[in-house]
């Protein structure tokens, strides 16, 4: 009977093109067709669910909303059936026989001009949905019955070449049954465990029950779509453990959702440990992208910025089309809006923890401070938000940490800059002679003991309108009043000594001058306030051996014992070779502190020479002593 009612149709030419590409040049992951068919079924179930709620036209109202998967192994058929909304003849022709998406023509025009390899991406971006079945099928049959009482059932058939047929058929209940006649080399899709593995991979959180050969497949609840009020902390923890396959509880989480202007829901976790702590160079991103509870991208590289790769969780939005490509995730306006919102909330959560629970914040900081700093450097839009998360030791918080707001809060009126000193560790930082003036004047200085810190502050330039300033390049004076007390005669000698050093050092320094900031130390190098930091210069040096460090200003402290002694020596014997040695060594000592010494050997030999002279002195004087003692 059916035969005479069977009508033959030709695919829209664009679909023919698409099928061609799908079958011959695409997809190494053929398994995704199962995901596509399941996700269509989910859509259909969602639609009928809506009808059930809003209209009385639905037939078989008591029919369970479900998906059935079964196999006809003799005929090599994989059968996926749903009790969803079904399709009319018109639907079949319009939805399955044509590409309904807008922009189709543009898309195909583009496609015809793209290289073979790039077609995959484009197709992915466009979303091939149902047609992906033809990657594995030599033939597909669709039995479908629309959900309203008066609807008839239809059978759609195609081998995926140029034609399809539609004929009336018998189907008692509403919904759609898709029979995939598998190609000989695709028989793996007849294995129950293979299908289960695919479901586990992509459809764990499908919101309708799935039965495989009448056995219920355990789908997990999509807790992110549930209202926050219905969830307990324990639910989130359970989900986290399941989701990330760990025993450990998360450090913290946020559950976000919005209906307007864009719909999405998300649960994001900050883990309690970091892969990168245990030697992994870079952990993979941890956020999965869902569209209506169907997994679109596992470990999505684009929904979260790189520096937030430690965050784990899910983002689900109906704005996200299935088969979305990386390009789309990056460029779609709505997705970007979601992304923006989520990042903002995540940072806000961390700021809150920093305020409320110091101990917890220190743990998070311990694991993820590198990521936060990376964010400041790479995420221009959020750098100011992220800078609220920074904490440092400081001259007034040696054991504790301070953040930038509290530092600003302690700044006395008139202090225009936020000062910092950097070094490999706290002890080294504290020995920095440039700090002396600050200590004397009781000005707080941030202590930067992570090499990244200096980059971060340089990048930020300022915090709430207060510029960051390295102590070595800050303009600070402590000694104006003391100046008068010094003897004029001595200062004359100091001046001559300065001229002597200038001549001696020549090109090695930008200038030599009497310091107004040193209190105890003999000397220091002052950095120009513009230009790269020494830190930056060291990196440039690593990249380019020829790189020349910029010249620094050498300052001496006339109150220091060593300087006094050297000034005296200079007065007595301006041509002293030993004084030359000491003077060079004095400069190199400072260069060593900064990691700027290029010829370490000559420094070592010079020190040995100085030691020799010292030893000889000791011998003569102790020789004297021994004679005296006798
Ligand atoms: P997409 O799902 O992206 O719209 P598809 O090619 O997968 O693209 O499907 C085209 C259309 O066919 C769907 O939008 C839907 O209207 C219809 N369709 C596909 N599968 C089903 C199904 N199981 N039940 C009802 N309608 C379906």
Q: What CATH number did the domain enclosing 288 receive? A: 3.30.230.80
* Rounded average pLDDT over 287-296: 79
Query: Does residue 532 have its Cβ closer than 6 Å to ligand 1?
Result: no
Question: Residue 595: pLDDT above 60?
Answer: yes
* Rounded average pLDDT over 507-522: 94
Tokens of 332: 């779609």
Which atom in ligand 1 lies closest to the alpha carbon of residue 84?
A: 24
pLDDT for 101 equals: 52
pLDDT for 209 equals: 92
Query: Does residue 99 have its Cβ closer than 6 Å to ligand 1?
Result: no
Top mean pLDDT of 223-237, 404-418, 615-629 is at: 404-418
Higher pLDDT, 160 or 555: 555
- Please report the beta strands in 308-440, taking only residues with DSSP state E, as ranges in sequence order: 312-316, 391-394, 397-403, 417-422
Largest pairwise CA distance in the chain: 136
In a domain, 390, yes or no: no
Confidence of residue 279 (pLDDT cuts 50, 70, 90): low
Closest protein CA for atom 4 of ligand 1? 129
Query: Does residue 130 have its Cβ closer than 6 Å to ligand 1?
Result: yes
Q: Looking at 312-326, 539-553, 591-605, which range is the least confident one?
A: 312-326
Confidence of residue 545 (pLDDT cuts 50, 70, 90): confident
In a domain, 451, yes or no: no
Q: Which own/partner pairs from 582-591 qualify as long-range (CB within 8 Å, at least 24 positions apart)? A: 582/610, 583/500, 583/501, 583/504, 583/505, 584/504, 585/610, 586/522, 586/523, 586/562, 587/505, 587/508, 587/509, 587/523, 587/554, 590/523, 590/524, 590/525, 590/554, 591/525
Confidence of residue 124 (pLDDT cuts 50, 70, 90): very low
Average pLDDT score, the chain: 87
179-229 confidence digits (pLDDT tens): 999 999 999 999 999 999 988 877 766 778 999 999 998 777 788 988 999
Torsion over CA: 43, 131, 88, 219 (sign): negative
103-113 confidence digits (pLDDT tens): 455 555 666 66
pLDDT for 172 equals: 92
* Rounded average pLDDT over 584-609: 92
* Rounded average pLDDT over 453-480: 89
In a domain, 569, yes or no: yes
Same domain (yes/no): 189, 263: no
Same domain (yes/no): 232, 192: no
In a domain, 331, yes or no: yes
Which of 47, 126, 127, 129 to probe ligand 1 with, by most ligand atoms within 8 A of CB?
129
Same domain (yes/no): 180, 312: no
Distance 47 CA to ligand 1 centre (A): 11
Distance 361 CA to ligand 1 centre (A): 47
Residue 95's CATH number: 3.30.565.10
pLDDT for 302 equals: 87
Q: Which residues of 3-40 are buried (b: 16+ CB within 10 A; e: fewer)?
A: eeeeeebebeebbeebbebbbeebbeebbbbbbbbbbb
pLDDT for 111 equals: 61
Same domain (yes/no): 192, 254: no
Distance CA 168, CA 154 (A): 4
Higher pLDDT, 146 or 15: 146
Same domain (yes/no): 171, 274: no
In a domain, 25, yes or no: yes
In a domain, 473, yes or no: no
Q: Which residues of 134-143 are buried (b: 16+ CB within 10 A; e: fewer)?
A: bbbbebbbbb
Distance CA 479, CA 441 (A): 11
Question: Residue 94: pLDDT above 90?
Answer: no
Q: Looking at 21-30, 401-410, 588-597, which range is the least confident one?
A: 21-30
Question: Residue 281: pLDDT above 80?
Answer: no
Percent pLDDT > 70 in the chain is 87
Question: Residue 261: pLDDT above 80?
Answer: yes
Residue 565's CATH number: 1.20.120.790
Same domain (yes/no): 55, 77: yes
Distance 453 CA to ligand 1 centre (A): 53
Higher pLDDT, 401 or 274: 401
609-628 confidence digits (pLDDT tens): 999 999 999 998 887 665 55
* Rounded average pLDDT over 391-399: 94
The number of domains in the chain is 3
561-572 and 488-505 helices, crossing angle to 10°: 80
Distance 335 CA to ligand 1 centre (A): 23
336-387 confidence digits (pLDDT tens): 999 999 999 999 999 999 999 999 999 999 999 999 999 999 999 999 999 9
pLDDT for 467 equals: 95
Angle value at C-alpha 260, between 259 and 261, nearest 5 degrees:
145
Q: Looking at 123-127, 398-402, 415-419, 460-464, which range is the least confident one?
A: 123-127
Same domain (yes/no): 7, 21: yes
Same domain (yes/no): 90, 173: yes
- What's CA 9's distance to the chain center, in Å? 50
In a domain, 459, yes or no: no
Q: Looking at 221-235, 546-560, 565-579, which range is the least confident one?
A: 221-235
Residue 227, Cβ neighbours under 10 Å: how many?
Answer: 9
Same domain (yes/no): 169, 28: yes
Nearest to 152 by CA among 136, 177, 172: 172
Among 355, 389, 405, the domain boundary falls at 355
Which of 67, 95, 324 to probe ligand 1 with, by most ligand atoms within 8 A of CB?
95
Among 295, 326, 355, the domain boundary falls at 355
Same domain (yes/no): 232, 155: no
Provide the residue range defining the domain that includes 230: 223-355
pLDDT for 85 equals: 95
pLDDT for 99 equals: 64
pLDDT for 143 equals: 98
Question: Residue 438: pLDDT above 80?
Answer: yes
Distance CA 629, CA 25 (A): 101
Same domain (yes/no): 134, 9: yes
299-317 confidence digits (pLDDT tens): 888 899 999 999 999 999 9
Question: Residue 29: pLDDT above 70?
Answer: no
* Rounded average pLDDT over 521-529: 89
Among 200, 217, 234, the domain boundary falls at 217
Query: Does residue 460 have its Cβ closer than 6 Å to ligand 1?
Result: no
Distance 37 CA to ligand 1 centre (A): 8
Residue 277, Cβ neighbours under 10 Å: how many?
Answer: 12
Residue 120, Cβ neighbours under 10 Å: how many?
Answer: 16
Distance 187 CA to ligand 1 centre (A): 24
Same domain (yes/no): 13, 136: yes
């Amino acid at each position: 009977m059916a035969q005479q009612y069977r009508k033959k149709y030709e695919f829209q030419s664009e679909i023919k093109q698409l099928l061609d590409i799908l079958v011959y040049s695409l997809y190494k992951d053929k398994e995704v067709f199962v995901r596509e068919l399941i996700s269509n079924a989910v859509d259909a179930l969602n639609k009928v669910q809506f009808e059930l709620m809003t209209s009385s036209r639905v037939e078989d109202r008591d029919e369970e909303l479900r998906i059935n998967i079964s196999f006809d192994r003799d005929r090599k058929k994989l059968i996926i059936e749903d009790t969803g909304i079904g399709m009319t003849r018109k639907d079949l022709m319009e939805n399955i026989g044509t590409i309904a998406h807008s922009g189709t023509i543009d898309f195909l025009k583009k496609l015809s001009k793209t290289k073979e390899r790039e077609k995959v991406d484009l197709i992915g971006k466009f979303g091939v949905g149902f047609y992906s079945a033809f990657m594995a099928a030599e033939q597909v049959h669709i039995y479908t019955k629309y959900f309203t009482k008066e609807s008839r059932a239809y059978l759609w058939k195609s081998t995926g070449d140029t034609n399809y047929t539609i004929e009336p058929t018998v189907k008692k209940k509403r919904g759609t049954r898709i029979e995939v006649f598998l190609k000989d080399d695709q028989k793996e899709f007849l294995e129950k465990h293979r299908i289960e593995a695919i479901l586990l991979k992509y459809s764990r959180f499908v919101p309708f029950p799935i039965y495989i050969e009448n056995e219920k497949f355990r789908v997990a609840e999509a807790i992110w779509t549930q209202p926050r009020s219905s969830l307990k902390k324990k639910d989130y923890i359970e989900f986290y453990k399941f989701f990330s396959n760990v025993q450990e509880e998360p450090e913290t989480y946020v559950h976000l959702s919005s209906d307007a202007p864009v719909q999405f829901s998300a649960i994001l976790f900050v883990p309690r440990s970091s892969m990168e702590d245990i030697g992994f160079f870079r952990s993979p991103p941890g956020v999965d992208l869902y569209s209506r509870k169907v997994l679109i991208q596992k470990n999505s590289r684009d929904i979260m910025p790189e520096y937030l790769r430690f965050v784990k969780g899910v983002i689900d939005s109906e704005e996200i089309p299935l088969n979305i490509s990386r390009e789309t995730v990056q460029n779609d306006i709505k997705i970007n809006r979601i992304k923006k919102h989520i990042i903002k909330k995540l940072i806000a959560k961390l700021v809150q923890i920093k305020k409320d629970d110091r101990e917890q914040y220190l743990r998070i900081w311990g694991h993820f401070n590198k990521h936060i700093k990376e964010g400041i450097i790479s995420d221009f839009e959020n750098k100011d938000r992220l800078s609220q998360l920074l904490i440092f030791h400081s001259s007034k918080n040696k054991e504790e940490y301070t953040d930038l707001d509290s530092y600003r809060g302690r700044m006395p009126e008139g202090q225009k800059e936020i000062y910092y000193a950097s070094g490999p560790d706290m002890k080294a930082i504290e020995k920095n002679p440039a700090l002396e003036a600050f200590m004397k004047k009781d000005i707080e200085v941030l202590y930067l003991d992570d090499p990244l810190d200096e980059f971060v502050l340089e990048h930020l330039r300022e915090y709430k309108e207060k510029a960051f300033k390295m102590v070595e390049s800050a303009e600070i004076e402590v000694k104006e009043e003391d100046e008068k007390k010094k003897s004029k005669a001595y200062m004359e000698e100091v001046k001559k000594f300065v001229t002597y050093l200038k001549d001696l050092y020549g090109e090695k320094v930008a200038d030599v001058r009497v310091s107004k900031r040193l209190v105890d130390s003999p000397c220091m190098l002052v950095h120009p306030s513009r230009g790269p930091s020494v830190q930056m210069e060291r990196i440039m040096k690593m990249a380019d051996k020829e790189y020349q460090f910029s010249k620094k200003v050498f300052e001496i402290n006339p109150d220091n014992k060593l300087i006094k002694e050297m000034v005296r020596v200079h007065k007595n014997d301006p041509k002293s070779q030993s004084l030359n040695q000491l003077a060079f060594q004095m400069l190199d000592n400072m260069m060593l502190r900064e990691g700027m010494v290029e010829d370490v050997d000559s420094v070592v030999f010079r020190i040995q020479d100085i030691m020799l002279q010292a030893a000889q002195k000791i011998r003569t004087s102790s020789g004297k002593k021994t004679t005296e003692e006798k």
